[in-house]
Structure 1
Amino acid sequence: MLDIPVLISGGGPVGLTASLLLSRHGVRSLLVERHPSTALTPKARGINARTMEVFRQCGIDTAIRDAGLAEGRLGLIVWAESLAGNEIERRVPGRATAKNMAATPVRNCLCAQDDLEPVIRRFAEQAGGPGALRFNTELTSFSQRPGAVTGKLTDRTTGEETPFTARYLIAAEGAQSRVRRALDVKMTGEEKVYDSVNILFHADLTQWVEHRPAALYFVEQEDLRATFLTINGRDRWGFLIHSPKKFGWQPQDFTPEFCAALIRKGAGVPDLAVSVLAVSPWEASAIVADNYRVGDVFLAGDAAHEMPPTGGFGLNTGVQDVHNLAWKIAAVISGKADGSLLDSYHAERQPFGRIITENSLANALSMGRNARQSKVLPRREFLNEQGLIFGACYQSTAVVPDGTPPVVVDDPVTDYVPSARPGSRAPHVWLTRSNEQISTIDLFGPHFVLLAGTDGEAWRRAAQAIGPSWPPLLAFTVGKDGDLGDPDGNWHHAYGVDTDGAVLVRPDGHVAWRSRSGASSPLDVLRTALDHLFGRMPAMA
């Protein structure tokens, strides 16, 4: 009988990240994955800047960049009649503008999923120790009783069954989640909106792309609508056929020979040497689970939300799901938080997942994905969703409101205004520590962080007086003669506090609590805030 604090079902990017994060929080877990190894095909490719911040906090962002496409090999989105034919339009994604890039210390990254997963797996195995990850092993049955999830794991090679008991179960199994179906969780939204076929192939396209490096090359013809998906920018590509049934094609029609012919047509090069490696028909849905938590079972990633890939939010939303969840599980398992803290996972992530899914669908429909139309350019929000990437502002018992109004923007999809209003992602500001430039983002990780102003020494002493806790509570003063220098003088304005104010940031980088100025008894104020955050007192209004 296995007895483990957390069982993770699913070994894709979401499950692997959950394993790594739990280890960083000091929580033992077991990940099981039914396949013998990590992904064999590219699947998702785009990692947005917010997710790269998560990987930076885990110390794996450099390894992921090394595994992905080198910076400078992207930059454009291109529409053309064919790669060798007339170009219709090219755009620089709004995410790449100087203003938007200044919101974060990192850059987005293109790293195909079959290159990404081995990197996260390596770090998760190092952090979790021997036996923390079991591939070729499937969760085949489970049930819940108060305080435990029990069931069986099955070795897919030998058929051997192993019973287990876990305190919590994270289902990160993808869109066909067996756990979600067993729980009978309702999915709300639009199913099977349009069909597609993914083709993975080898061909040297260098001469048609090197002068205009792009992540996506959309092919717009009357009898073919498709996208060349950049993987290594040279000879490894994806070719995505849009709405094939609208053109009279069925999944069985996509033989290697037929696929090669379509690739040549899309390239506009009749004699192009093509080697088809894999073909995968699929249908896009835009559906979100009504409940992310059922008892002691949590849904994450595509098990919780299935969305069209237009905008590249699927993998990113899933990684950010477990970034939100892992520290909360650790706080409860450590005994420092009440189990009610875990309800905030659904309260924070499900509304956000719904918004992301709706906008991914809007992107797809604006491009005519469910119709036989050519030369249909997307809505202006496509790849310009800065507000969705950075602008999530949570409302839950894991946030202590400070009475300030929400930030108002013209378009919450495209516009992002940095704010330290409780619930928001803590803004990026360049600071200095021991003459080294660091971002505020670099301060966050497997701990809470208190940042106080130049005259906020009383807040720092209060944090230190609270003593050992879970997670560790680190405290810094910011400004002249503080622990952290503020050479540009931006921190107080960005975080909305006076020189004697303070901000408390959660391990997932979202602001938990803020006091604009000082307090007569900062120790009592800070203790009360933590008690509310951890569910040890009734929620603040």
Structure 2
Amino acid sequence: MLEIPVLIIGGGPVGLTASLLLSRAGVRSLLVERHDGTSRVPKARGINARTMEMYRQLGLEEDIHAAGLSAGSTGLIVWTESLAGREIERRVPGRALPKNLAVTPTTNCLCAQDDLEPVLRRHAEAAGLGDVRFATEMTAFRRDANGISATIRDLATGAETGIRARWLIAADGAQSRVRRAMGVRMPGEEKVYDSVNILVRADLTEWVKDRPAALYFVEQPSLRGTFLTINARDRWGFLIHSLAHYGYRPADFTPEFCTALVRQAAGLPDLPVEVLGVSYWEASAIVAERYRDGRMFLAGDAAHEIPPTGGFGMNTGVQDVLNLCWKLAAVERGEAGEALLDSYDAERRPLAELTTRTSLANALSMGRTAKQSSAVLPRREFLNEQGLIFGVPYESAAVLADGTPPLMPEDPITEYLPSARPGSRAPHVWLQQGDTRLSTIDLLGKRFVLLAGREGAGWAAAARALAGSGNPPMSAHVIGGRLADPENAWHAAYEVSPRGAVLVRPDGYVAWRSRDGAADPEGVLRDALDRLLGRQAA
């Protein structure tokens, strides 16, 4: 019997990220994935800037950018009658506008899943505490009040191993066996439309080089599809929407038929095309009715199926485990009460529901459920969801309200108003340490971090005194001391006086804020930690 704190089911981006996060937090885990290796097809491609902030903090930013495409390769979104024919419109996505790029020290990245997963796997395996096993499946499990007993099988040898884990993360995809065994329903709209992804090798350079885009939407009376940029040269996805409206069936998509469709969409009847793969799928807009069931947690597609129009599926999934893993680690290390784990559902499920509704609205605005539609161009929110990506606050017992009202942008989907109100993602501000320019984002991500105003040394001393000894690891920084604020932006962005302070969680969200000083900073901070970590009633 192998005993392990956390058992992770599923070795896609969500499971691999969970393994890495737990290792960085000092918690051992075992990941099992029934496939014999990482993904062989592109699947998800877009990594938004909030997700890239997380990977930046984990030290993966450069490797992911190296595996993906440069921003110059995918700067546009194009609508056209065919690649060689009349262009309908081209746009710069709202996420790439200068005002939106300025809210983060990193950038979006287009990195196909079959290029991303090897990077994540390499880092997860190198982290040391995570045991990652491919070609291995969980064949049975049962749970009790103290944990999960499971059996895993090595698919290469047939050897079986008994596992005893205290916690289980189900990152096993939309058809999650674990979720079904848990009896968790998925309310929402199922099978909104059907699609086929065709992966091809074809040299389209001549027709895209002067308008590099992530997506080329093809709009014809007899064909609506999308060229998906994979390597921006000779490897492309071609996505066909709403097959049923054309009378197509999955069996119709032979290599010859797929070649003809790609040539039609390209407007190039003699284009050399090699079909590398075909996959059929149905888009749904559904979210699990609960994310936690005792010692078991749902994450990624096991917790939500999000229409791909906007690229939120994988991003939402890896941010699920960013939220969950620091909480599991705090409970596992004895620093938090188990009540902290209830905040995972309270924080992530409402955001997934909003994201799912937004993505579905994007798809419907483009007529994705119809053969022909006057709605060729999408609503203005499409790829302009800056508020959704950065601005949705958490509300849970792991966030201590400070009595300030929430910011109310005119359009909370498209507009992000930076705020350090508890529950918000900690804003990005450029600071200076000696000759090094760094972001507040670069101070976060490994542990709790207290950021104090230039006269808030008492808060910083309190944080250092409380770190350890039953409390989570914490670091503290006085802004305006060794960390200079050359643009005098930090106090305004974080809305505190020179004597104030904020406490930021390991996932980069503000947990607590004191807008001014206190007579007993250590006592105030100790009480805040007790409350937000579930060690006493709020």
Give the TM-score normalised by the residue count of structure 2. 0.99
Matched, 1:35 2:35: yes
Equivalent in the alignment of 1:55 = 55
The within-5 A match list for 1:120-139 is 120-128=120-128, 132-139=131-138
Equivalent in the alignment of 2:262 = 263
In structure 2, do the counterparts of structure 1 residues 467 and 97 end up closer, same or farther at CA, with 3 Å as the change threshold? closer
Alignment partner of 2:152: what SS?
Answer: strand
Equivalent in the alignment of 2:371 = 372
Matched, 1:78 2:93: no
Matched, 1:471 2:472: yes
In structure 2, do the counterparts of structure 1 residues 249 and 526 end up closer, same or farther at CA, with 3 Å as the change threshold? same
Following superposition, the deviation at residue 374 of structure 1 comes to 4.4
Equivalent in the alignment of 1:345 = 344
Report which stretch shifted further, 159-168 or 465-474: 465-474
Alignment partner of 2:486: what SS?
Answer: coil
Matched, 1:399 2:399: yes
Following superposition, the deviation at residue 156 of structure 1 comes to 1.8
Q: What amino acid is aligned across from residue 95 of structure 1 in structure 2? A: R
Q: What amino acid is aligned across from residue 359 of structure 1 in structure 2? A: T
Equivalent in the alignment of 1:238 = 237
5+ long unaligned stretches in structure 2: none
Report which stretch shifted further, 469-478 or 285-294: 469-478
Q: What amino acid is aligned across from residue 178 of structure 2 in structure 1? A: V
8 Å contact from structure 1 (residues 327, 446) kept in 2:
no
Task: State the distance in 2 between where 1:204 and 1:249 align.
Answer: 27
Following superposition, the deviation at residue 110 of structure 1 comes to 0.2
8 Å contact from structure 1 (residues 498, 516) kept in 2:
yes
Equivalent in the alignment of 1:183 = 182
Q: What amino acid is aligned across from residue 411 of structure 1 in structure 2? A: D
Equivalent in the alignment of 1:68 = 68
Following superposition, the deviation at residue 254 of structure 1 comes to 0.3
8 Å contact from structure 1 (residues 222, 374) kept in 2:
no
8 Å contact from structure 1 (residues 19, 128) kept in 2:
no
Task: State the distance in 2 between where 1:416 and 1:148 align.
Answer: 41
Matched, 1:498 2:502: no
Alignment partner of 1:132: what SS?
Answer: strand
Task: State the distance in 2 between where 1:28 and 1:462 align.
Answer: 30
Matched, 1:536 2:535: yes
Following superposition, the deviation at residue 160 of structure 1 comes to 2.2
- Could you report, residue by residue, the CA deviation over 1:398-440 in whole angstroms, capped at 9, with x for unpaired residues? 1111011111101111000000000000000000112210000
Task: State the distance in 2 between where 1:138 and 1:301 align.
Answer: 18
The within-5 A match list for 1:412-423 is 412-423=412-423
Task: State the distance in 2 between where 1:358 and 1:283 align.
Answer: 16
8 Å contact from structure 1 (residues 199, 238) kept in 2:
yes
Alignment partner of 1:427: what SS?
Answer: coil
Matched, 1:335 2:330: no
- Could you report, residue by residue, the CA deviation over 1:4-51 in whole angstroms, capped at 9, with x for unpaired residues? 000000000000000000000000000000000000000000000000
Q: What amino acid is aligned across from residue 35 of structure 1 in structure 2? A: H
Alignment partner of 2:431: what SS?
Answer: strand
Alignment partner of 2:187: what SS?
Answer: strand
- Could you report, residue by residue, the CA deviation over 1:338-394 in whole angstroms, capped at 9, with x for unpaired residues? 011000000000000110011111111111111111461111100000011001210
Alignment partner of 1:379: what SS?
Answer: coil
The within-5 A match list for 1:177-256 is 177-256=176-255
Structural RMSD (CA): 0.9
Following superposition, the deviation at residue 319 of structure 1 comes to 0.5
Alignment partner of 2:508: what SS?
Answer: coil
Give the TM-score normalised by the residue count of structure 1. 0.98
8 Å contact from structure 1 (residues 144, 295) kept in 2:
no
8 Å contact from structure 1 (residues 221, 374) kept in 2:
no
Task: State the distance in 1 between where 2:183 and 2:221 align.
Answer: 43
- Could you report, residue by residue, the CA deviation over 1:260-291 in whole angstroms, capped at 9, with x for unpaired residues? 00000000000000000000011000000011
Detail structure 1 runs of 4+ shifted over 6 Å in the superposition.
none
Q: What amino acid is aligned across from residue 242 of structure 1 in structure 2? A: H
5+ long unaligned stretches in structure 1: none
Report which stretch shifted further, 468-477 or 262-271: 468-477
Task: State the distance in 2 between where 1:516 and 1:374 align.
Answer: 53
Task: State the distance in 1 between where 2:240 and 2:186 align.
Answer: 26
8 Å contact from structure 1 (residues 216, 228) kept in 2:
yes
Matched, 1:319 2:318: yes
- Could you report, residue by residue, the CA deviation over 1:34-69 in whole angstroms, capped at 9, with x for unpaired residues? 000000000000000000000001000100000001
Following superposition, the deviation at residue 191 of structure 1 comes to 0.2
Equivalent in the alignment of 1:515 = 514
Q: What amino acid is aligned across from residue 419 of structure 1 in structure 2? A: S
Equivalent in the alignment of 2:146 = 147
Alignment partner of 1:323: what SS?
Answer: helix
Q: What amino acid is aligned across from residue 475 of structure 2 in structure 1? A: L
Task: State the distance in 2 between where 1:236 and 1:502 align.
Answer: 50
Following superposition, the deviation at residue 155 of structure 1 comes to 1.6
Equivalent in the alignment of 1:303 = 302
Following superposition, the deviation at residue 136 of structure 1 comes to 0.4
Task: State the distance in 2 between where 1:172 and 1:96 align.
Answer: 30
8 Å contact from structure 1 (residues 175, 302) kept in 2:
yes
Q: What amino acid is aligned across from residue 54 of structure 1 in structure 2? A: M
Q: What amino acid is aligned across from residue 447 of structure 2 in structure 1? A: H
Alignment partner of 2:127: what SS?
Answer: helix
Task: State the distance in 1 between where 2:354 and 2:399 align.
Answer: 20
- Could you report, residue by residue, the CA deviation over 1:131-169 in whole angstroms, capped at 9, with x for unpaired residues? 710000011211111121111111223332211100100
Task: State the distance in 1 between where 2:113 and 2:72 align.
Answer: 20
Following superposition, the deviation at residue 483 of structure 1 comes to 2.7
Alignment partner of 2:103: what SS?
Answer: coil
8 Å contact from structure 1 (residues 347, 395) kept in 2:
yes
Alignment partner of 1:72: what SS?
Answer: helix
8 Å contact from structure 1 (residues 505, 512) kept in 2:
yes
- Could you report, residue by residue, the CA deviation over 1:99-147 in whole angstroms, capped at 9, with x for unpaired residues? 1110100000000000000000000000035x71000001121111112
Q: What amino acid is aligned across from residue 305 of structure 1 in structure 2? A: H
Task: State the distance in 1 between where 2:323 and 2:466 align.
Answer: 24
Task: State the distance in 2 between where 1:280 and 1:435 align.
Answer: 51
